[in-house]
Structure 1
Amino acid sequence: MNATRGPAVDRSPSDWLRCPSCHTLVYRRRFERAHRVCPGCGAHTPLDAARRLDALLDPGSARPLTPTATVHDPLRFEDLQPYPDRLAAARAATGHEDAVRVALGTLAGHPVVLAVMDFAFMGGSLGVAAGEAIGTAADAALAGRVPLIVVTSSGGARMQEGALALMQMAKTSAAMAELDEAGLLTVTVVADPTYGGVAASFATLADVVVCEPGARMGFAGPRVIEQTIGERLPEGFQRAEFLLRHGLVDAVRPRGELRRTLAVLLAAARRPAEPDRPEATGPTRAAGVGDGAAARPEAGSVESVESVGPIGRPAHEVVAAARDPRRPTTRDHLAYWMDAFVELRGDRAGGDCPAIVGGLGLVEGRAMLVLGHQKGHTTADLVRANFAMASPAGYRKVVRLARLAEKIGVPLVTLIDTPGAHPGIEAEQQGQAGAIAGCLRVLAGLRVPVVAVVTGEGGSGGALALGVADRVLISANALYSVISPEGCAAILWKTREQSPAAARALGLDAGSLLELGVVDRVIAEPEGGAQADPPAASLALRDAVLETVAELASLDPAERVASRRRRFRAFGLPAASDAAGAGIGTGRVREDGDDYRDSDDYEEDSA
């Protein structure tokens, strides 16, 4: 038993108990080994704070923290019984002083501060003692420069403490803001239920919000909402799965997988970044990452960019190759690249766009935040991903994850493959133009290394939203253009049949883009293109990304930002060579580090 364990709670002597959800009999010891999750229906029954601390922290690592003493019964409150009597009963029943327990410890070897709410203590209500406990946890995380994990389960603010309880929402939110400013990762694990003042403060302010299956979270409870609006609520309203679909949380994880998920997040946020492997029993792959991709093979030899590429290839063939549905998607690349990965979803404003996929993970032991457009290999895949045409929610997700990369100091890698931003009515109503502009502004100012890779179709502003980077790489058979050839032909030639001519005129192939300085490096594809050998193509991209990130990581962050801004400031100016000398990439990088800036040099080496 760990030091976190409180006094033993009286239990039934029976070896069997009945699941409160499916009502089947469950062997008690099996139930407890599964952290009180029903093996039949999967229902997650309440877990007290002591068990929760034991389940998440490494054995023997917990060191309890005692919050500063707070006032008791500030209002001399009395309803059916005096408030002090309610407190005494809750303490006797749980063995806790209040609704939150805090401990320093390690999780999979990573130092962490863990604060756990216990619903059994007066419904996990947020009073002055609970608020001070969250503040104490944040202070400890700040002092130790370690992440903070909070497990929530609460009915809301504690009514018996009046306005002082209300003030705890501001206190805990301010504490989370300090951790933001310090660049420390914060994670909320939402247990059932999490309502009111807790949901409207520290619970939803964390960088990552993970829910247990079926957990409810919201500001007002469903009964209050139904009585207020006089309408029946939809099935599953405010449940974890509902919240995930609406972009309000990052993930839903069964209790047995929480420790593994948290270990990956902690490894990715570790400072300074070190090669690391979170605990695992075999090859790791985040749920939902692959599009049917095979297990990741060893990297094979890939022809150099000098021998493979679109140089001299008809532009309309480049367009066809870039759009080939067999090319690896972002999810495929994640499956091939990642040692471990946690997908992060949602814009936290009511939407989760399937056309943008992103998350935190480790690539060859290096922490990265990777995000990109998601297409698909079948019609059904494409429809589910909206043909990789992102909505405003998708671009808001990009901004949220980019800011997370900045906060915890990990490189950002973006994978571009889209025909363009979604042009629908709802997208315009929700501010599509402003959402794209927000991406451009945020990516331009990130202090962490930013690498963009055009892996397929780079269409218009919807692609550029992920393309403001220190270095822009492009696959040999990819394209990047201000408009689709068909759209250009329809507008300027007055017929879509002239799209091959438009493709030639637009200079959208990798060779033309390299000469313009729009991209910095062309990544070779296997014979027959990426679609002929997706694993080899993906691993070639991974190696180029790792090399580029390592190069950028050595630069001063302020100079990195200034150089990135100079790069884009110089596009279209006649003094391109002077701009290049100021640190702006205007051509492919040779193995010896010299830039290709002269078209004659480029043609000679290509030959």
Structure 2
Amino acid sequence: MSISTVRRETGAGPEEAAWLRCPGCQALVYRKRLERARKVCPECRHHLRLSVDERLALLLDEGSLATFGDELAAGDPLGFTDTKPYPERLAAARRRTGHRDAAVAGTAAVDGERLVVVALDFGFMGGSVGGVVGELVVRACERALEDRLPLLIVSASGGARMQEGALSLMQLAKTAQEVARLHEAGLLVINLNTDPTFGGATASFSMLGDVVLSEPGALIGFAGPQVIKQTIRQDLPAGFQTAEFLHERGILDLVVPRENLRGTLAKLLRLHARRAGGSAGSPAASGGSPGAGPWVTEPAELSRRDARAVVELARDTGRPTALDYLSHAFDEFLELHGDAAAGDDPAVVGGIARIGGRPVVFAGHQKGHDTAELVRRNFGMPNPEGYRKALRLMRYAEKFRLPFVTLVDTPGAYPGIAAEERGQGSAIARCIMRMSRLPVPTVTLVTGEGGSGGALALGVGNTVLMLENAYYSVISPEGCSTILFGSAAEAPRAAAALGLTAPDLLRTGVLDGVVREPEGGAHTDPLRTADAVRAALIAALDRLSGLGPDRLIEHRHARFRRFGTPAAPSPTPPGE
């Protein structure tokens, strides 16, 4: 995917050519126009490769980069020669790039947010990972650990450096263990994988970040496409190993156009920043107040509604969805995608958010307002990949000691053959177990349907709230009717018997409070409902913010331990 340079009729050399041929669409593009567009083709949006200097200039605040490790230089441990000796290849690459090896490391800033960065240069021997590159990655990790700063790893690499043999292979372990130390220390690691990222880079530091980003069209994988074709003798699918291909399969969090990369990085860094004064969440910082929240706690204060009517309101496609609340009840949100293993289930959305000045990790069921979106999001019924995405977000919240906030709105987990084959029950069980032991505040709000274990997987909160016209049930009324009465025709009768409405759930202690809706339901005034949701979430987080990890786990344990034990006392309300 190299650039073909077209000489002008004057006979000028390639370095002086005014026109370049895009490798994506083959269009001739005026060089200066291409440079103004950050080397993104204006015709087809193909992202051409950048040198390491161009990449760092694009991402970092001007003048903020202070490099380290500049003195490192590769030796020739094996006396390796192919068509020419290894030292000659190194010398040629140094002359061509102006760098001593295929990586640059230093401290820098993005929109004023400090970080450590290490970036690989494909222009230097294909960005191959030898001893110097491995050492620079390790030193970047060590500096991030020492200074308690986030680490950004920018990759463009064909893999391990063959000229250094097994010593190059050892860089995978050397770098991976340093990234592991950053995770153990609760420090943010961001991967930006550019075209191409393969082999030893992908199998170590390039895929180990908390967040993994890429540019459109970037090729990313372990084995290269030609190696795969020659090995398995099969044609590869369209778009194979592109960033979009991996994003659809849950491996990459985001595919970000080049012009948006800097802003996305700045937002990520800002959402993880722990500033003096406590934006991590004291009551004063978030604007709420401890004590009773803006919700109803007494069943008698709620209007008694027909259970079947409540179910119909909860299912109304006009009701605000999780993404609607994220737009109107939260200050900002950056969605992360995928379970980092097998898929990105659109029935579950999640990421990093801020509400009332406090950063949180968010996960929620997502339905839709029209048939197309409802179908695409499987009517809010997650597959195992959706629950594993939520599980990944729980781990994220635990690592960064951020509150975990969930919005529940699902008929239940998807009851399909493939879902069972991929371990639906196991995925739900692990979510319930992990959320029950999170050492951070957990707040759940049921906004629509709370269907069975598929809902509870995101519902093990220190504080569990529900909107007034939502419901929470062990099974759908139709399912209950079919099992107990022989057909779905008795669904209204089953709904009434299941005790699934807000007053019922307050009486049994399943809920801590009920958030009132506008007259007629949340869909009649979504903005007013979002304001009520925001106030409730902020107040719930404020009440929990003063509790330490052990106390939060103890309270949550006591909250759920009491169910089914009629005479057991309720746990002491948090914050009292």
Query: Is the TM value for this pair above 0.5?
Result: yes
Which of residues 546, 550, 560 is equivalent to 1:554? Answer: 546
The answer to whether structure 1 residue 580 and structure 2 residue 575 are counterparts is no
Rounded to whole Å, the distance in 1 between the matches of 2:546 and 2:148 is 23
CA distance in 1, matches of 2:145, 2:340: 25
Selected match of 2:144 from 141, 144, 155? 141
Kindly provide the CA deviation profile for residues 474-521 of structure 1, in whole angstroms up to 9, marking residues without a partner as x: 000000000011111111122322211111111101111111111111
The Cα RMSD (Å) is 2.1
CA distance in 2, matches of 1:575, 1:154: 64
Identify the residue that residue 132 of structure 2 maps to in structure 1.
129
**Following TM superposition, by how much is the alpha carbon of 1:15 offset from its aligned partner in structure 2, in angstroms?**
3.9
Structure 1 residues 224, 311: CA separation in 2 closer, same or farther (over 3 Å shift)? Answer: same
Structure 2: which amino acid aligns with 1:24?
A: A
Specify the SS of the correspondent of 1:30. helix
- Answer yes or no: is the 8 Å Cα contact 1:308–1:524 preserved in 2: no
Q: Does 1:54 align with 2:57?
A: yes
Counterpart pick for 2:349 among 357, 361, 381: 357
Post-superposition offset of 1:442: 1.2
Say if 1:68 and 1:132, in contact at 8 Å, map to a contact too. no
Local SS of the residue matching 2:387: helix
1:416 and 2:408 correspond: yes
Number of the residue aligned with 2:66: 63
1:59 partner SS: coil
Identity %: 52
Contact 2:446 2:470 in 1 (8 A): yes
1:192 aligns to 2:195 (yes or no): yes
Q: Out of 248, 255, 263, which is 2:266 matched to? A: 263
| Structure 2 counterpart SS, 1:576 | coil
Q: How high is the TM-score relative to the length of structure 2?
A: 0.92
What 5-or-longer segments of structure 2 have no aligned partner? Answer: 1-12, 280-293
Distance 2:278 2:380 in 1: 33
CA apart distance, 1:349: 1.3
* 1:388 equivalenced with 2:391 (yes/no): no
Q: Aligned partners of 2:143, 2:37: CA distance in 1, in Å?
A: 30
Q: Is the 8 A contact 1:273 1:366 kept in 2?
A: no
- When structure 1 is superposed on structure 2, of 111-120 and 488-497 the one drifting more is 488-497
Structure 1 position 536 matched with structure 2 position 528: yes
Structure 1 residues 565-574 or 303-312, which shifts more?
303-312
Which letter maps to 2:472? Y
Q: Separation in 2 of the partners of 1:203 and 1:433? A: 32
Are the equivalent residues in 2 in contact too, given 1:67–1:133 (CA < 8 A)?
no
CA distance, structure 2, for counterparts of residue 308 and residue 122 of structure 1: 74
Is residue 2:478 matched to residue 1:486?
yes
Q: 1:308 to 1:418 in 2, by over 3 A?
A: farther
The reply on whether 1:216 has 2:219 as its aligned counterpart is yes
- The aligned counterpart of 1:510 is 502
Deviations 1:351-377 (A, max 9, x none): 111110111122243212111001111
Q: Which residue of 1 aligns with 2:328?
A: 336
- Tell me: CA distance 1:304–1:134, structure 2 relative to 1, closer, same or farther (3 Å): closer
Greater displacement, 67-76 / 513-522:
67-76
Which range moves more in the overlay, 361-370 or 398-407? 361-370
Alignment of 1:105-120 (within 5 A): 105-120=108-123
SS at match of 2:331: strand
Partner of 1:97: 100
CA separation in 2, counterparts of 1:207 and 1:426? Answer: 28
Q: Match for residue 75 of structure 2?
A: 72
Distance 1:26 1:308, change over 3 A: farther
One-letter amino acid of the structure 2 residue matched with residue 72 of structure 1: G
Structure 2 CA distance, aligned partners of 1:348 and 1:367? 22
> How far 1:43 sits from its partner (Å)?
1.1
The counterpart of 1:241, out of the listed 239, 244, 249, is 244
- Separation of aligned partners in 2, 1:34 and 1:133: 30
Q: Distance in 2 between matches of 1:310 and 1:354?
A: 34
Structure 1 SS opposite 2:407: strand
Change over 3 Å in CA distance of 1:118–1:309 after alignment to 2: farther
CA distance in 2: counterparts of 1:128 and 1:304, whole angstroms:
60
In structure 2, the residue corresponding to 1:22 is in which secondary structure? coil
Give how far 1:469 is off: 1.1
Structure 1 residue runs without a partner (length 5+): 1-9, 277-302, 586-592, 595-607
Contact 1:269 1:410 in 2 (8 A): no
| Distance in 2 of aligned mates of 1:385 and 1:314 | 29
Name the stretch that deviates more: 12-21 or 433-442.
Answer: 12-21
Change (3 A) 1:20 1:275: farther
- Taking the aligned partners of 2:89 and 2:301, their CA distance within structure 1 comes to 74
CA distance in structure 1 between the partners assigned to 2:262 and 2:357 by the alignment: 19
Count the aligned residue pairs. 550
Offset at residue 388 of structure 1 (A): 0.8
Higher mean alpha-carbon deviation, 231-240 vs 512-521, is at 512-521
Where 2:443 maps in the other structure, the secondary structure is strand
2:370 to 378, 388, 403: 378
1:275 Cα shift? 8.2
Once the two structures are superposed, residues 67-102 of structure 1 have per-residue CA deviations (whole angstroms, 9 ceiling, x without a partner) of 674661111111111111111111111011111111
Look up the match of 1:522. Answer: 514
